[in-house]
Structure 1
Amino acid sequence: MKKRKAAWWVALILGALALGVFVARGQAPTPPYHLQAAADLPAPASQTITTPGDTTNTLVRLSIKPAQRQRFVEAIRGVLEPSRQAEGCLVFDVYQQRDDANAFVVYERWADAPAHQRHLATPYTAAFLAQLNGMLAQAPETLEPRDLVMP
């Protein structure tokens, strides 16, 4: 336990020193993505998470061709509400990157892996994914983070 706390403090101190060096040089590091709610889509929504260890989380960054942006917004809008109403859906939100109107992040949180698999097998998800391929400017970036419960 003491080793873990010591390692955490070392990482914190090194990170603070690195940040100080960048700031002193006028080069403060910027996070790769600044997200905001997409103005032309329904607001983010979520449910209370009671068993965080069982959840399946997915973050997908989608870079959309500029000429396909409106088509993408219409297509993802057709998936939002059915996904949010699906059994086991805790979060299904779409964010737009602040500095890129054609970059979106889809954040999904499901009660468990079977709920996520059922969602992927629905007709509305299949229809959306079939449309998506022609709208992408580049391959999607996908993260599947696990819940971390701090003591």
Structure 2
Amino acid sequence: MNGVFAVLVTIDVRPEALAEFEAGLRANAAATRAEPGCLRFDVLRERDDASRFVLYELYTDEDAFFTGHRAAAHYPAWTALCERCVVPGGRRNTYAVPAFAEDVPDA
């Protein structure tokens, strides 16, 4: 349980690319949720900025994210989608671990 690893991703999308991005993000989220090491993958949209998304990803451990997730068959399509739709410099990852890992369900 103490290996639980979280990723918070903030993404600023070009307004004219929102429809394409949303469709690709939906596919990416579904594929990621099916990965063996993924515990959670929540997609949020900022209330006051419809072109800013926040992803909350929770994995069994760092390896599930850095190796498993990034090696998944769907990951290259996600990367290409971000290159087309995200504002340059508009994707930021924050890596974290739960302060109270025992509170993480299914970990």
Q: Given the two structures, how large is their TM-score scaled by the length of structure 1?
A: 0.62
Stretches (4+) displaced over 2 A: none
The sequence identity of aligned pairs, in percent, is 26
Question: What are the Cα deviations for residues 33-75 of structure 1, in whole angstroms up to 9, with x where unaligned?
Answer: xxxxxxxxxxxxxxxxxx1x20111001000000000100010
CA distance in 2, matches of 1:82, 1:130: 16
What SS class does the counterpart of residue 7 from structure 2 fall into?
Answer: strand
Q: Give the structure with the higher percent strand.
A: 2
Larger Rg: 1
Unaligned 5+ runs, structure 2: 102-107
Alignment-derived partner of residue 136 in structure 1: 86
CA distance in 2, matches of 1:54, 1:128: 26
Amino acid at match of 1:145: A
| Aligned pairs, number | 99
Unaligned 5+ runs, structure 1: 1-50
CA distance in 2, matches of 1:114, 1:137: 28
Q: Could you say what the CA RMSD is over the residues aligned between the two structures, in angstroms?
A: 1.4
Greater length-normalized contact order (CA 8 Å, ≥ 6 residues apart): 2
Instruction: Answer whether contact 2:8 2:54 (CA < 8 A) is retained.
Output: yes
Q: Give the structure with the higher percent helix.
A: 1
Amino acid at match of 2:33: R
Q: CA deviation at 1:138?
A: 3.7
